[in-house]
Chain A
Amino acid sequence: MAKNEIKYLTAIKQEKPKKKFCRFRKYGIKYVDYKDIEFLKKFINEQGKLLPRRLSGNSLKYQRKVQEAVKKARQMALLPYVTDLLK
Chain B
Amino acid sequence: MNHYELMVIFTPVLSDEDYKAAQKKYADLVAELGGAAVHSHPWGLKSLAYPIQKKTTGIYWVFEFTAPSSANEKLKIQLLRDEKVMRHMITRLDKYAVEYNHVKRNGGFAMQNKEKQEA
> B116 to chain A: which residues have CB within 8 Å?
23, 27, 29, 39
Interface residues contributed by chain A, number (CB under 8 Å): 22
Contacts between chains A and B (CB distance < 8 A), count? 50
Residues A21-37 near B (CB distance < 8 A):
23, 27-31, 33-36
- Per a CB cutoff under 8 Å, which of B87, B94, B96 touches A76? B87
Q: Is the CB of B52 within 8 A of A77?
A: yes
* Proximity string of chain B (89-119) to chain A, C-beta cutoff 8 Å, 1 when within and 0 when not: 1010010110110001000000001101110
Please judge, given known A-B contacts A77-B50, A77-B58, whether A31 and B118 are in contact too, CB under 8 Å: no
> B117 to chain A: which residues have CB within 8 Å?
29, 33, 36, 39
Please give me the residue from chain A that is nearest to B62 by CB atom.
A35
Chain A nearest CB from B6 CB (Å) reads 11
- Per a CB cutoff under 8 Å, which of A28, A34, A39, A77 touches B49? A77
Q: Is the CB of B113 within 8 A of A33?
A: no
B7 at the interface (CB under 8 A from A): yes
Complex Cα–Cα for A44 and B17 (A)? 37
> B118 to chain A: which residues have CB within 8 Å?
38-39
Complex Cα–Cα for A78 and B43 (A)? 12
Please judge, given known A-B contacts A77-B48, A79-B49, A80-B49, whether A31 and B89 are in contact too, CB under 8 Å: no
Please judge, given known A-B contacts A23-B116, A31-B97, whether A81 and B50 are in contact too, CB under 8 Å: yes
* Residues of A in contact with B (beta carbons under 8 Å apart): 23, 27-31, 33-36, 38-39, 72, 74-81, 83
13 A-B pairs (CB sep. < 8 Å): A23-B116, A27-B114, A29-B116, A30-B100, A31-B97, A33-B97, A33-B104, A39-B117, A76-B9, A77-B9, A77-B52, A79-B49, A83-B49
